[in-house]
Chain A
Amino acid sequence: MSLDDISIKIATDLNSIGSIDALLNEIATRLARFVATGESAMIDLKSLPFSPAEYEALRTTLGRGEVTARLETIGDSELYETHYPGVWWVTHYNVEGDVVAELIEIAAVPAILHSQPEDVQDGLERLQQQLSKK
């Protein structure tokens, strides 16, 4: 018997629990609120008991839009806008490449992409130091 003889079956009839529909409804509600009031929101995907099939279904449903951003800090992070503008899929990895946080963020731009005031201040000081050396 070789490895190929072991049949692998992908579970498909797991939709009965309805958690994907529930989540999509939730996203729609938050997105509507964002449109009306500008209030952003985040949903923690790691707290949801998805089966691998449900997770894939969610990814396919939301799709990928026009923008992808990558952070390179204590491991990578990938942020992309889904097919629905304002709905971002945010995945943070650690240096070993494990997922440490996975979120749906509803915002014009995910918060972590903004330059942080502390970092800006620090950068300004470095630049000034550089100039004063000349």
Chain B
Amino acid sequence: MKEHETLEQRLQEQGISRRSFLKFCAAMATMMALPPSSASAIAATLAKVKRPSVIWLSFQECTGCTESLTRSHSPTLESMIFDMVSLDYHHTLQAASGFAAEQAREDAMKEFHGQYLLLVDGSIPIKDGGVYSTIAGRTNLDMLLEAAQGAAAIVAVGSCAAFGGLPNAQPNPTGAVAVSDLIKNKPIINISGCPPIPAVITGVLAHYLTFGALPALDDQGRPKAFYGETIHDRCYRRPFYDQGKFAKTFDDEGARNGWCLYELGCKGPTTHNACATTKWNGGTSFPIESGHGCIGCSEPKFWDAGSFYAPLPAPTADVSSAAKAAAVIGAVAAVAVGAIDRGKKTQAQQSREKLTVDDLKGE
């Protein structure tokens, strides 16, 4: 296997101009929830990094997460994400099959021991020795334990790998568990969602490449830049929630007026994800824009959290009164623009012309 070249070399070979690369980095900055002025700092670093080896293992899953990624709307994703990393094993996407495929995985694991990034989608069934899901005659459990040993870090893609997901829902016949239930000695980043937002997957990879480290995580192991706020925090129907205007059925006057979907079971207030701003299908919209509440797919145990159509027990902490008070005293600009600053960078950082990657670390 040849030594991985840098991204800059790779792009040069393909005749991609620096300006194109800058544009790509502007899109990456947006994706990573970093200030847009950081694009040139990102470009400077990304150009120099060696493309890391990536091994992607798919376990007990529906392939929705891979579907989500391959439909990611980043600039020429196929070339981009595969230019950024060297995907040495992904059994759905790779051309090789059978023994050759398994050989590629073993070679990569040996050659890049301690350095490769391990991506996992799907939960791992452990009941009855893990017999409920096998690849090439080996259990998922066995394969994960082996591949995790040489990984620099593990990315659990999707709610199944992150929290157990659907296979783990009651009565969990296969004893499905999350990656973090089995691996305790490696950094694990959870990109939850069923499926996760494709731009979040690429954003996290870009972050790892740019900073050489995983982004800051919340208490569920999710990157704060994307999961730091709830759907409800950024929902454009929020003014209606604050005014107490709720749709009561899917076809009443309130529904037609675009009122809040809380009483129709929206789980937005308890769900942390970037749907309300990053959106889906190339930024077209997200479920609430289509008139359906959030079902909470990026939270642990969301399948067992009761009906998708039953309202949440009680309104969560009411920040609306604070927001209203701020508006009254004319502080609205500061408040709202503070919220704008998705990456939670200071204003000074956000507006400084020349940022370096070091400025952006330390979140």
Contact = CB atoms under 8 A, between A and B. Distances in A.
Interface string A12-37: 00101111011101100110010000
Contact of A22 (B236, B335, B352): B335
A11 B257 contact: yes
A100 B20 contact: no
Contacts of B352: 39
Interface string B28-51: 011001011100100000000000
B75 A100 contact: yes
Contacts of A75: 75-76
A4 interface: no
Contact of A49 (B36, B236, B243, B350): B236
Contact of A47 (B23, B30, B239): B30
A46 B353 contact: no
B35 A42 contact: yes
Interface residues of B, number: 50
B76 A74 contact: yes
Contact of A48 (B22, B74, B332, B340): B340
B184 interface: no
Contacts of A51: 236
Nearest to B24: A74
A42 B239 contact: no
Contacts of B351: 30, 33, 39, 41
Contacts, number: 142
Given A33-B351, A47-B30, A21 B332 contact: yes
B333 A26 contact: yes
B235 interface: yes
B282 interface: yes
A9 B259 CA distance: 13
A83 B139 CA distance: 63
Contacts of A3: none
A56 interface: no
A109 interface: no
B37 A95 contact: no
B24 A18 contact: no
Q: Secondary structure of the B side of the interface?
A: helix
A25 B75 contact: no
Nearest to B334: A22
Given A11-B257, A33-B351, A118 B18 contact: yes
A99 B333 CA distance: 26
A92 B340 contact: no
B38 to A, nearest CB: 9
Contacts of A40: 353
Interface in A52-87: 54, 71, 73-75, 77
A116 interface: yes
A55 to B, nearest CB: 10
A92 B17 contact: no
Contacts of A94: 27, 73-77, 282
Given A22-B333, A47-B33, A92-B26, 9 more contacts: A17-B239, A23-B336, A44-B35, A46-B278, A54-B236, A71-B19, A73-B17, A94-B76, A100-B74
Interface of B: 16-20, 22-24, 26-27, 29-30, 33, 35-37, 40, 73-77, 234-236, 238-239, 242-243, 256-258, 276-278, 282-283, 327, 332-333, 335-337, 340-342, 350-353
